[in-house]
């Protein structure tokens, strides 16, 4: 047995020495850059306008010369021929076998074409994730996800299948029906957004009288779509609610599944550096950040995605390199704390920079509070106001004053802001299946 073959999907790449890994990245970057330049009129125009030819990239340091692609550029050129992908498409339209689109959280959805080759690549990237998280052939994986135009757990489904797991598609079922099916089939693992994982556990307890750690067989959960599984307080809540290990992974429709937590759970995610080039840059100066511990914006390249390549995509995700290697033996570097937020999410309230994940960490660390909360920022005259709506768990009724005191102190400590806190009846705040929208900045809508 090859060393690490029991813990790594592909130790040839995952445990490759760093020097060879960087050589591999350069070679693969050069290959995808040339492919995009030769096949996509959009990329060719972008590069020619910058005076760049593919041969100009000779070292990894040269990569920064390649112009970045913004989501807004992708929106502008789509819905034209070859319809609906426009000039980003690098293959004949008839080679496209998969359509997906982004959720449109930040504007008009972006359409994404994939070929069979791309789809194999998607499931391969997920195979790296799931194997690293301990999924094996014996697992029966339940996927409580509305299979549709969003890529989300589609690729997780096919990745699990590739590992040899038995996959149960829990598509158009109610939450109650999904839980009962998981119980009946003794499903051992599942995938979902952190929000929905908490919501499901709550429904199991309150509506079905099922205690997930005792009455169900779920022992590992892979989360995506929100930063929650990398927020310690949220991760702990999901782990306790299910009696399962919770793992984070990160991906995006226009990028691919690029990072994953391993079984060592080192407080960060491995970047799949054999499949992706992750660069971090200072959002204000645009300078590259190589040192650990300094937060910046991720610019990412997917080396092997062919139909609609992702070359130096400006993801707007905020990340930082960890300063330590993971004990698991992977050479793939770690990003500390997962995706820390998005450039667009970091907002100034009352003159203070605020990351919504900091509020989540506080709310979820107070055991008396239920999982849901809502933050609303408004402006009255020149004054910003920030309201926080929370719910007490049924067993904590009557403790409002005590909890309020702790909440105020912790919020002040972690975010340096004062909030107008209101308590709402348990179960009255919105529950989400997909990506939650708990942070509402109404100032941007003129509210």
* Smallest distance from another protein to CB 411, Å: 47
Alpha carbons 260 and 272: distance in angstroms, whole number: 8
Tokens representing 177? 């029906």
Q: Does 328 bind Zn ion (CB under 5 A)?
A: yes
Query: Residues 8 to 27: which contact another protein by CB under 8 A?
Result: 10-13, 16, 20, 23-24, 27
Task: Identify whether the C-beta of residue 396 lies closer than 8 Å to the C-beta of residue 364.
Answer: no
Which listed option, Zn ion, another protein, none, makes contact with residue 262 (CB within 5 to 8 Å by class)? Zn ion
Task: Identify whether the C-beta of residue 98 lies closer than 8 Å to the C-beta of residue 256.
Answer: no
73-78: long-range contacts, CB 8 A cutoff, minimum separation 24: 73/42, 73/46, 74/110, 74/254, 75/107, 75/108, 75/110, 77/42, 78/110, 78/111
Task: Identify whether the C-beta of residue 130 lies closer than 8 Å to the C-beta of residue 160.
Answer: yes
The one segment of 21-29, 105-113, 259-267, 404-412 that binds Zn ion by CB under 5 A: 259-267
Task: Identify whether the C-beta of residue 176 lies closer than 8 Å to the C-beta of residue 208.
Answer: yes
* Smallest distance from Zn ion to CB 264, Å: 5
Cβ neighbours of 434 (radius 10 Å)? 17
Task: Pick from 8, 110, 262, 318 the residue near Zn ion by CB under 5 A.
Answer: 262
Q: Does 264 bind Zn ion (CB under 5 A)?
A: yes
Task: Pick from 30, 109, 119, 434 the residue near another protein by CB under 8 A.
Answer: 119
* Binding residues for another protein, total number by CB under 8 A: 23
DSSP 299: E
Output 17 or 380, the one with its CB closest to another protein: 17
Q: Does 428 bind another protein (CB under 8 A)?
A: no
Tokens representing 107? 């504007």
Task: Identify whether the C-beta of residue 223 lies closer than 8 Å to the C-beta of residue 231.
Answer: no
Which listed option, another protein, Zn ion, none, makes contact with residue 326 (CB within 5 to 8 Å by class)? Zn ion
* Site track 274-303 with another protein (rule: CB under 8 A), x = hit: xx----------------------------
Which listed option, Zn ion, another protein, none, makes contact with residue 36 (CB within 5 to 8 Å by class)? none
Q: Does 4 bind Zn ion (CB under 5 A)?
A: no
Going by C-beta distance under 8 Å and a sequence separation of 6 or more, which residues neighbour residue 206? 394, 427
Instruction: Give how far the C-alpha of residue 425 lies from the chain's centroid of Cα atoms, to the nearest Å.
Output: 31
* Site track 123-162 with another protein (rule: CB under 8 A), x = hit: -x--------------------------------------
Task: Identify whether the C-beta of residue 27 lies closer than 8 Å to the C-beta of residue 273.
Answer: no
Output 13 or 238, the one with its CB closest to another protein: 13
21-24: long-range contacts, CB 8 A cutoff, minimum separation 24: 21/273, 21/274, 21/331, 21/332, 22/60, 24/274
* Smallest distance from another protein to CB 293, Å: 30
Q: Does 120 bind another protein (CB under 8 A)?
A: yes
* Smallest distance from another protein to CB 26, Å: 10
* Smallest distance from another protein to CB 216, Å: 34
Going by C-beta distance under 8 Å and a sequence separation of 6 or more, which residues neighbour residue 6? none
Tokens representing 225? 């779509």
Which listed option, Zn ion, another protein, none, makes contact with residue 328 (CB within 5 to 8 Å by class)? Zn ion
Interacting residues toward Zn ion by CB under 5 A: 262, 264, 326, 328, 330
Interacting residues toward another protein by CB under 8 A: 1-3, 10-13, 16, 20, 23-24, 27-28, 115-117, 119-121, 124, 274-275, 304
């Amino acid at each position: 047995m090859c060393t690490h073959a029991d813990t790594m999907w592909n130790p040839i790449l995952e445990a490759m020495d760093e020097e060879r890994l960087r050589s591999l990245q350069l070679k693969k970057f050069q290959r995808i850059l040339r492919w995009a330049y030769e096949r996509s009129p959009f990329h060719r125009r972008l590069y020619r306008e910058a005076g760049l030819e593919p041969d100009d990239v000779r070292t990894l340091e040269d990569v920064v010369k390649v112009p970045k692609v913004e989501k807004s550029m992708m929106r502008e050129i789509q819905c034209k021929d070859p319809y609906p992908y426009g000039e980003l498409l690098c293959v004949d339209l008839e080679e496209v076998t998969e359509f997906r689109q982004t959720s449109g959280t930040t504007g008009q959805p972006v359409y994404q074409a994939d070929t069979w080759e791309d789809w194999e690549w998607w499931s391969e990237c997920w195979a790296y994730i799931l194997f690293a998280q301990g999924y094996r052939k014996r697992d029966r994986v339940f996927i409580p996800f509305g299979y549709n135009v969003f890529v989300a757990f589609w690729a997780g489904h096919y990745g699990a299948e590739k590992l040899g797991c038995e996959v149960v598609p829990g598509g158009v079922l109610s939450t109650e029906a999904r839980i009962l099916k998981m119980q009946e089939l003794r499903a051992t693992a599942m995938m979902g957004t952190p929000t929905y994982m908490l919501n499901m556990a709550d429904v199991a307890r309150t509506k079905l009288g099922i205690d997930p750690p005792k009455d169900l067989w779920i022992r590992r959960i892979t989360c995506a779509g929100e930063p929650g599984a990398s927020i310690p307080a949220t991760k702990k809540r999901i782990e306790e609610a299910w009696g399962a290990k919770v793992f984070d992974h990160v991906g995006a429709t226009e990028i691919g599944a690029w990072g994953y937590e391993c079984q060592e759970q080192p407080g960060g995610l491995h970047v799949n550096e054999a499949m992706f080039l992750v660069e971090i840059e200072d959002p204000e100066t645009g300078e590259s950040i190589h040192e650990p511990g300094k937060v910046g914006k991720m610019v990412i390249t997917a080396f092997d995605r062919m139909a609609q390549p992702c070359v130096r995509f400006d993801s707007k995700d905020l990340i930082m390199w960890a300063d330590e290697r993971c004990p698991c033996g992977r050479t793939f570097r770690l990003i500390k704390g997962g995706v820390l937020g998005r450039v667009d999410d970091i907002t100034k309230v009352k003159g203070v920079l605020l990351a919504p994940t900091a509020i989540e960490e506080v709310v979820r660390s107070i055991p008396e509070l239920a999982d849901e909360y809502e933050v609303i920022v408004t402006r009255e005259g020149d004054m910003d106001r920030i309201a926080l709506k929370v719910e007490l768990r049924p067993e904590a009724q009557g403790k409002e004053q005590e909890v309020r005191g702790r909440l105020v102190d912790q919020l002040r400590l972690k975010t340096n802001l004062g909030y107008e806190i209101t308590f709402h009846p348990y179960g009255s705040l919105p529950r989400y299946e997909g990506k939650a929208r708990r942070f509402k900045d109404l100032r941007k809508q003129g509210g």
